[in-house]
């Protein structure tokens, strides 16, 4: 999940555990760490899928259920029969609501207030790995579906619920699910996955509450730098060792930032917030809206989320080389994780890195390439329904488009379903935002209740 700084719902947050909190707590206790699959095997993932069948009996009983790979499950909720009318909006394709139930590793020794897989309910929140990314979002989808099924509700069109168990480690399941839709010639009318959230300050100078709806996502690629040399005793080095060569290459590329530019979705975000801003923030937004080139440079200088909105980012995530303190290494490597801005590509990112390094003895290869997605429209009924549902759950929030900075499973659907968006209807403050893939991940019970209302409203309106 990726969203700028966010906040909890306002006063009146429940202090006591609710049913929704207990159910999410049980989900957290199942350690679906996809990075540990080689050790754990499929058992935790099968346990989780059995658990949601137990927790949501009407979903299990009334929706069609289909396994897709050993990591994913697809539910179909048939819509009400309608006369054939190929030109009408009502005759268009189904809705797909997505979430993933795998999580990244967590260890109590990292400093967690409560053990990361205990699902503790305390201080008005559910604590534990996956509460925000992404079991909380999965939970509120199922809560809404179970509630509406209990009422006897039937959606106007088919609704699919897709839950994947390997989003954090490659998205094989989501790739297979998207392929299944294409094989069956099903083009979703709307796809909604994780991505944005309800936030209080999308950027330091935008002081309004906002529902940040991702209309696309940055691309990604891992660029691996490798160098080789002659091993030997460290007492007689000759020239650059592979480790020194890689260190120099990393330094050069880190000092060569990618060009900054303001994408159309970012300009639309500024325009959306402008009427709701005051004082210094309004003056800044007016300037940014009128002068995109100046905007790009100013945001890049801010760093963090602001810079990531306007340029391709690069982070050195792995360094390797050497076998002993007194031995010249025969090889060394580094991995650069790049998040590619709209308007750039995997190829242009590789060219930039090659030019920055300026060393033919550094081999460069890439893994896991994903191009930036197309941008979903904001002038259609789908975006309006998402905005209305967000307002029903968070009345003070202004719905705004933005570009999701992290990767999601939605990219596999956006290649053939233009109306693909990224918004988990949960609120989080800056500390919670930092806890995603970090320490003390937690979601407020009030936010879970609001997320359920969001999905109920959306399902009634489609």
Mean pLDDT by 10 residues, the chain (462 residues): 40 52 98 95 96 97 96 96 61 91 96 97 97 98 98 97 96 97 97 95 84 96 96 87 97 96 90 88 85 86 89 96 93 97 96 97 96 96 98 96 93 96 94 93 97 98 96
Which of 304, 336, 370 is a domain's end point?
A: 370
Spatial CA neighbour of 404 closest among 120, 197, 225: 197
How much is the pLDDT for 3?
A: 40
| Residue 344 sits in the same domain as residue 452 | no
| Residue 184 sits in the same domain as residue 82 | yes
By DSSP bridging, strand 398-404 and strand 210-217 are parallel
| Residue 298 sits in the same domain as residue 329 | yes
> Residue 102 — left, alpha, or beta (φ > 0 → left; ψ -120 to 50 → alpha)?
beta
- Alpha-carbon distance of 457 to 462, in angstroms, equals 9
Dihedral angle sign, alpha carbons of residues 208, 421, 429, 460 = positive
CA atoms lying within 13 Å on the CB side of residue 67: 7
| Residue 228 sits in the same domain as residue 161 | no
Tell me how crowded residue 443 is: count the other CB atoms within 10 A of its CB: 31
| Residue 350 sits in the same domain as residue 454 | no
| Residue 262 sits in the same domain as residue 305 | yes
Spatial CA neighbour of 209 closest among 376, 24, 76, 394: 394
Put the strands of the sheet holding 331-340 in their side by side order: 313-321, 331-340, 219-228, 363-370
- Alpha-carbon distance of 300 to 297, in angstroms, equals 5
CATH number at residue 349: 3.30.70.360
- Alpha-carbon distance of 439 to 107, in angstroms, equals 9
| Residue 362 sits in the same domain as residue 378 | no
12 within domain boundaries: no
Spatial CA neighbour of 148 closest among 63, 72, 74: 63
CA atoms lying within 13 Å on the CB side of residue 177: 36
SS3 80: coil
* Residue 185 CB partners (closer than 8 Å, separation 6+): none
| Residue 356 sits in the same domain as residue 439 | no
Location of structure tokens 């990726």: 2
Spatial CA neighbour of 101 closest among 160, 46, 22: 46
352 within domain boundaries: yes
9 within domain boundaries: no
Spatial CA neighbour of 294 closest among 269, 270, 262, 321: 262
Location of structure tokens 């399902």: 459
- Alpha-carbon distance of 63 to 76, in angstroms, equals 6
Spatial CA neighbour of 4 closest among 318, 193, 266: 266
Instruction: Report the residue count for the chain.
Output: 462
Query: Whole domain around residue 328: which residue ranges?
Result: 219-370
| Residue 342 sits in the same domain as residue 432 | no
H/E stretch holding 44: helix 43-55
How much is the pLDDT for 89?
A: 56
Q: What is the DSSP letter of 37?
A: H
| Residue 188 sits in the same domain as residue 295 | no
The counts of H helices and E strands in the chain are 16, 17
How much is the pLDDT for 237?
A: 85
CATH number at residue 194: 3.40.630.10
Query: Cα torsion at 396, 399, 404, 405 (round to 10°)?
Result: -50
Specify which residues 230 forms β-bridges with. none
| Residue 97 sits in the same domain as residue 189 | yes
- Alpha-carbon distance of 167 to 101, in angstroms, equals 8
Which of 354, 370, 386 is a domain's end point?
A: 370
- φ, ψ for residue 139 (rounded to 5)? -60, -45
| Residue 96 sits in the same domain as residue 206 | yes
How much is the pLDDT for 208?
A: 87
Q: pTM of the predicted model, to two decimals?
A: 0.89
Which of 325, 350, 370 is a domain's end point?
A: 370
How much is the pLDDT for 14?
A: 34
CA atoms lying within 13 Å on the CB side of residue 310: 25
E strands, 56-112, where?
64-68, 72-77, 95-100
Number of domains in the chain: 2
């Amino acid at each position: 999940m990726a969203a700028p700084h966010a906040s909890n719902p306002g006063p009146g947050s429940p202090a006591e555990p609710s049913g929704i909190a207990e159910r999410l707590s049980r989900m957290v206790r199942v350690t679906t760490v996809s990075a540990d699959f080689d050790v754990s095997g499929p058992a935790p993932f099968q346990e989780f899928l059995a658990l949601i069948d137990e927790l949501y009996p009407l979903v299990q009983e009334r929706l069609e259920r289909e396994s897709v790979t050993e990591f994913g499950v697809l539910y179909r909720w048939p819509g009400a029969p309608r006369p054939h009318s190929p030109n009408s909006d009502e005759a268009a394709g189904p809705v797909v609501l997505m979430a993933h139930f795998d999580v990244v590793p967590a260890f109590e020794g990292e400093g967690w207030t409560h053990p990361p897989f205990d699902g503790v309910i305390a201080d008005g929140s559910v604590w534990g790995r996956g509460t925000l990314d992404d079991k909380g979002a999965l939970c509120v989808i199922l809560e809404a579906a179970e509630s509406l099924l209990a009422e006897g509700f039937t959606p106007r069109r088919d609704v699919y619920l897709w839950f994947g168990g390997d989003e954090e480690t490659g998205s094989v399941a989501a790739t297979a699910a998207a392929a299944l839709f294409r094989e069956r010639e099903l083009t979703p009318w709307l796809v909604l996955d994780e991505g944005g959230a309800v936030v209080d300050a999308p950027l330091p100078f935008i002081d309004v509450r906002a529902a940040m709806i991702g209309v696309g996502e940055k691309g990604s690629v891992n660029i691996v730098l490798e160098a080789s040399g002659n091993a030997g005793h460290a007492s007689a080095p000759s020239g650059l060792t592979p480790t020194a060569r890689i260190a120099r290459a990393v330094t050069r590329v880190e000092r060569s930032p990618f060009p900054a530019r303001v994408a159309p979705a970012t300009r639309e975000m500024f325009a959306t917030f402008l009427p709701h801003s005051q004082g210094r923030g309004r003056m800044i937004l007016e300037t940014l809206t009128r002068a995109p080139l100046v905007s790009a440079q100013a945001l890049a200088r801010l760093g963090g989320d602001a810079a990531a909105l306007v340029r391709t980012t690069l982070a050195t995530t792995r360094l390797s080389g050497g076998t002993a303190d007194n031995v010249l290494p025969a090889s060394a490597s580094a991995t650069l994780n790049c998040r590619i801005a709209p308007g750039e590509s995997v190829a242009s990112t590789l060219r930039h890195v090659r030019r920055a390094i300026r060393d033919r003895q550094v081999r460069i290869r890439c893994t896991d390439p994903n191009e930036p997605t197309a941008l979903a429209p904001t002038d259609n009924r789908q975006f309006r329904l998402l905005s209305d549902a967000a307002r029903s759950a968070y009345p003070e929030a202004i719905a705004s488009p933005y570009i999701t900075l992290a990767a999601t499973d939605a990219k596999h659907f956006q290649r053939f379903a233009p109306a693909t968006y990224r918004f988990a209807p949960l609120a989080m403050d800056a500390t919670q935002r930092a806890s995603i893939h970090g320490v003390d991940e937690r979601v407020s019970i009030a936010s879970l209740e609001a997320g359920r209302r969001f999905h109920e409203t959306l399902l009634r309106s489609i």
